[in-house]
Amino acid sequence: MSTLTVELKLDSIELSGSDKERSIYFVLASTNAVNPQSLAVSHLPDSGNLTLGENQTEYDFAPAGDSEGGLFLLSTQLPANNMLNVRIWVMESHVLLKDIGKILSGIGNFVETDVEKSGLVQAIGGVSPVVLTGITSASDGLSKLGDALAQTGDKQIGFISMDQSFESVSFPLNCTQTMMSGGGKLSWTWLCVANAPTVPVQAATASSI
């Protein structure tokens, strides 16, 4: 296993226009470098949903000139193959300022109904992050999570794969990608933070907004 630890921050979000106020949140899922048969899942921002006003299409978590900015997503040690699998769903809550615990618990309820087939032995609870264990593979866990999100009643604005190989990269690594739905785009940055002992994935526990 590599001793390199990397950090992921969300820099900005740009969505298609809307004439109404929107309550936005993100669901982040990442594989664990220590235990590949587990999946760390977080609701972000951890302090509450992001509110976009009428006709507001952009939000900068890292304004120009703010080198310490960005919404912290995760920090993890790289596995031996130097590859991380990270997925993010952009969701619009049908209720403004929806309770974080209810969001995660609701997702967990849908995952739990398929627990025998999916092998997920720990349903998502009301604490962020949570860990889904006993999955047969990362792709299986991500697929089940995506299916569960589709059943929450909230609108799935879009989905982005942040999968990244760190074989030959220089830091900071800046990325921008359009959502598969075409509903907007995200910009994020990978940082090298340390050469550290083995640690599990640590997902966001506080919002930097």
Q: Which domains does the chain have, with CATH numbers?
A: 4-203 (2.60.40.150)
Structure confidence at residue 138 as a pLDDT band (50, 70, 90): low
pLDDT higher than threshold 60 for residue 128: no
Selection from 14-18, 30-34, 123-127 with the highest mean pLDDT: 14-18
Share of the chain above pLDDT 70, in %: 65
The string of pLDDT tens digits covering residues 150-206 is 777 788 999 999 999 999 899 999 999 999 888 999 999 999 987 644 444 455 433
Q: pTM to 2 decimals?
A: 0.79
Q: What is the mean pLDDT of the chain?
A: 75
The Cα-based distances of 17 to 29, 95, 176, 183, 193 in angstroms read: 27, 19, 19, 9, 36
Model pLDDT, residue 148: 73
